[in-house]
Structure 1
Amino acid sequence: MKEKIEKYIKEFVKKYPEVKGTETRWKEPLIAYADAKNPMFLELKKIVVPTHGIPTDFLQDAKTVITYFLPFEGEVVKSNIKGKESSRTWGMAYIETNRLILDLNTYLHEKIQELGYQSTIIPATHNFDVETLISEWSHRHVAYIAGLGKFGLNNMFITEKGCCGRVGSIVTNIKIEATEVKEEEYCLYKTKAICKKCVEGCINGALTVDGYDRHKCYEMCLHNDEYLGDIGVTDVCGKCMVGVPCSFRNPTNPPKISNN
Structure 2
Amino acid sequence: MNDKLNHLIKDYVSNYKDLKDTETDWRDPVIGIADADDPMFLELKEVISSSHALPTDFIDDAKSVIVFFLPFEEEVVKSNIQDKQSSKKWDYAKIETNNLIEDLIDYMQAEIEKMGYKATSSKDLPPTYNYDEEELISDWSHRHVGYITGMGTFGINNMFITDQGSCGRMGSIVTNLSLKPTERDDQENCLYKYNGKCKVCVDRCVVNAISTENKDGFVDREKCYEHIYEDPPEYSKGVGDACGKCKSGVPCSTTNPVKELIKKDN
Instruction: Give the TM-score normalised by structure 1.
Output: 0.96
Give the whole-Å Cα distance in 2 for the aligned partners of 1:133 and 1:229: 22
Give the whole-Å Cα distance in 2 for the aligned partners of 1:45 and 1:37: 14
Q: Is the 8 A contact 1:48 1:134 kept in 2?
A: yes
1:237 pairs with 222, 231, 243, which one?
Answer: 243
Deviation at 1:227, TM superposition (A): 3.9
Give the whole-Å Cα distance in 2 for the aligned partners of 1:236 and 1:5: 30
Deviation at 1:195, TM superposition (A): 1.1
Give the whole-Å Cα distance in 1 for the aligned partners of 2:235 and 2:20: 20
User: Does residue 132 in structure 1 map to residue 135 in structure 2?
Assistant: yes
Higher mean alpha-carbon deviation, 175-184 vs 228-237, is at 228-237
Counterpart code for 1:109: Q
Counterpart code for 1:243: G
The SS at the match of 1:252 is helix
1:170 pairs with 162, 170, 173, which one?
Answer: 173
Partner of 1:212: 219
**After the TM superposition, which residues 1-260 of structure 1 pair with which residues of structure 2 at under 5 Å, given as runs?**
1-121=1-121, 122-210=125-213, 211-223=218-230, 226-231=231-236, 232-254=238-260
Instruction: Give the TM-score normalised by structure 2.
Output: 0.94
Q: Deviations over 1:125-168 (max 9, x none)?
A: 10100101111000000000011100001100000110011111
Give the whole-Å Cα distance in 2 for the aligned partners of 1:253 and 1:148: 13
In structure 2, list runs of 5 or more residues that go unmatched: none
The SS at the match of 2:163 is coil
Question: Pairwise CA RMSD of aligned residues?
Answer: 1.2
Deviation at 1:246, TM superposition (A): 0.4
Q: Is the 8 A contact 2:42 2:54 kept in 1?
A: yes
Deviation at 1:4, TM superposition (A): 1.3
Give the whole-Å Cα distance in 2 for the aligned partners of 1:227 and 1:153: 25
Deviation at 1:7, TM superposition (A): 1.0
Deviation at 1:182, TM superposition (A): 1.6
Deviation at 1:14, TM superposition (A): 0.4
Stretches (4+) displaced over 3 A: none
Q: Deviations over 1:212-258 (max 9, x none)?
A: 110100011113xx34223422221100001000001110112779x
Counterpart code for 1:92: Y
Give the whole-Å Cα distance in 2 for the aligned partners of 1:148 and 1:25: 21
Q: Is the 8 A contact 1:85 1:227 kept in 2?
A: no
Q: Deviations over 1:19-69 (max 9, x none)?
A: 101000001101110000001001101101110001000000000000111
Q: Is the 8 A contact 1:124 1:167 kept in 2?
A: yes
Give the whole-Å Cα distance in 2 for the aligned partners of 1:132 and 1:235: 18
Deviation at 1:87, TM superposition (A): 0.2
In structure 1, list runs of 5 or more residues that go unmatched: none
Q: Deviations over 1:99-148 (max 9, x none)?
A: 10000000000000001111001210101001011110000000000111
Give the whole-Å Cα distance in 1 for the aligned partners of 2:260 and 2:94: 29
What number of residue pairs does the alignment pair up? 255
Q: Is the 8 A contact 2:232 2:241 kept in 1?
A: no
Counterpart code for 1:218: Y
Counterpart code for 1:120: T
Higher mean alpha-carbon deviation, 91-100 vs 248-257, is at 248-257
